Chain A
Amino acid sequence: MAKLVLTDASVTINSVDLSSAVQSVTLNYNTDQVEVTSMGDSAHLFTGGLDNVTCDVTLFQDFAASEVEATVYDLVGTTTTVVILPTSGAVAADNPSYTLANTYLSSHMPVAGTVGDAAMTTLNFVGGSITKATS
Chain B
Amino acid sequence: MSSYRILSSKLAAGPAGSIVTETELQGCNIAALVAGGHIAPATVAEPEPETETDPEETEE
Contacts and interface: CB of A to CB of B under 8 A. Distances in A.
Interface of A: 12, 14-18, 65-66, 70-71, 73-75, 78-81, 83, 101-102
B12 to A, nearest CB: 5
B36 interface: yes
Nearest to A10: B12
Q: Is the interface of B mostly helix, strand, loop or mixed?
A: loop
Contact of B7 (A66, A78, A102): A66
Given A70-B36, A73-B36, 15 more contacts: A15-B25, A15-B38, A16-B33, A17-B10, A17-B11, A18-B10, A66-B38, A71-B32, A74-B29, A75-B29, A75-B32, A78-B32, A81-B27, A101-B27, A102-B27
A17 B15 CA distance: 12
B35 A16 contact: no
A75 B10 CA distance: 16
B28 A74 contact: no
Interface residues of B, number: 18
Interface string B3-46: 00001111111000000000001011101110111100000000
Contact of B10 (A16, A73, A78): A16
B10 A80 contact: no
A81 B32 contact: no
Contacts of B13: 15
